[in-house]
Structure 1
Amino acid sequence: MTTLTDRPRTALLVVDVQQGVVDGAHERDAVVSRIATLVERARAAGTPVVWVQHSDDELEAGSPAWQYVPELSRLDSEPLVAKRYGDSFEDTTLEGELASAGVGHLVVAGAESDACIRSTIHGAFTRGYDVTLVGDAHTAGDKSEWGAPSVPDVVAHTNLYWSFQAAPGRTAQVLDAADVSFPA
């Protein structure tokens, strides 16, 4: 289990499901729907839901593209972490939010699979968290014109290598949204 002592709780981490990030993303509607269901299930179980919102020179804070998709609604009581780097922990308040809630296990969903999702799951794992990647609840935009693989291949590869991730005292796994359970 987690190497973070006194952190028995799980949190759902929703990363960058913003209009300008997921507009045109692979299976956008299905992924957003699965994330919405995860949010509902986490709330019903009393599991913290933590939202991450990216901004940079191309995704300006306050712009329509920067806003979360309308299908997902954050409660005022749920933390919103602003970030400027791929890793949701880097130069943000995320670690403090999770520590204060006693969280040592993250269930991660969102965008983009080949950028902020990968950076965040690795960042969490190296910081001592157990990390469950929701394999059918992350997506990305097509970057094949720059030589990247197709998005389905990116998602599949991310799920494949994360399912074999290992380190002392930590667990990594990939589950479909329907198989994720939140402890009561």
Structure 2
Amino acid sequence: MTTWPDRPHTALLVVDVQNGVVVEAHDRDAVVGKVAALVARARHEQVPVVWVQQTDDEFPRGSDTWGVVPELDPADHEPRIEKEHGDSFEATELAEVLAGLGVGRVVVAGAQTDACIRATLHGAFVRGYDTVLVTDAHTTEDLTAYGAPPPPQVIAHTNLYWGFQSGPGRTATTATAAEVDLTGARAGEGTGGLRPWSAQ
């Protein structure tokens, strides 16, 4: 139960699915397809879709690298948040936008898993939101040259640990794109019965 009891609604946060961000992302087309399906379902179910875009020297506003990938098409009425930090809430209007929509629960998808997705999940959680990570709708690039695990391991580990995040008055859960209930129910969400010490 969110710590925002007067905010009964859910929003889908689509984080940084931009041309320059996902150009070398692991399983890019499949993940973008899952995000597109989530967006279509959210619109059909009248769940707000909020688009987040990294906007800085590397991704300047209006550039091709900054733009949302062509498979996705943000609607004019859907909020767009520009950020300079990993956490989509940091120095942005996201919290105010969600408050205006009566949102106390966020469903998170996008890129990159080990950067802006993790930061945004934690940012939402510490601010009191129920959070759902869509396990098959986030991705990252290969950073093994810098000492990171391969992308499938990064994704799997993030999916594993997020389901065991805990705090008073809010929930952290995971679900596949097919399982997630965008309207706010918890049916089908969870960790599949896994425990960190028994995960394969």
1:37 equivalent in alignment to 2:47: no
Deviation, 1:180, is: 1.0
Aligned AA (1:180)? V
Quote the Cα distance in structure 1 between the aligned partners of 2:11 and 2:118: 18
- What TM-score, normalized by structure 2, do the two folds share? 0.90
Deviation, 1:183, is: 2.0
- Where in structure 2 are the equivalents of 1:169-184 lying within 5 Å? 169-183=169-183
Aligned AA (2:175)? L
1:61 equivalent in alignment to 2:61: yes
Percent of aligned positions with the same letter in both sequences? 60
- Where in structure 2 are the equivalents of 1:125-144 lying within 5 Å? 125-144=125-144
- After superposition, the C-alpha distances for 1:31-85 in whole angstroms (9 at most, x for unaligned) are 0000000000000011000000001222222211110000000111100001000
Please name the residue that 1:6 is paired with. 6
1:97 equivalent in alignment to 2:108: no
- What TM-score, normalized by structure 1, do the two folds share? 0.98
Which of 1 and 2 has higher RCO (CA within 8 Å, sep 6+)?
Answer: 1
Counting matched residue pairs gives 184
Quote the Cα distance in structure 2 between the aligned partners of 1:172 and 1:42: 20
1:166 equivalent in alignment to 2:169: no
- After superposition, the C-alpha distances for 1:108-154 in whole angstroms (9 at most, x for unaligned) are 00000000000000000000000000000000111110101100000
Structure with more of its chain in helix, by fraction: 1
Quote the Cα distance in structure 1 between the aligned partners of 2:182 and 2:141: 29
Quote the Cα distance in structure 1 between the aligned partners of 2:64 and 2:88: 21
Please name the residue that 2:74 is paired with. 74
Please name the residue that 2:192 is paired with. none
What 5-or-longer segments of structure 2 have no aligned partner?
185-200
Please name the residue that 2:196 is paired with. none
What 5-or-longer segments of structure 1 have no aligned partner?
none
1:87 equivalent in alignment to 2:87: yes
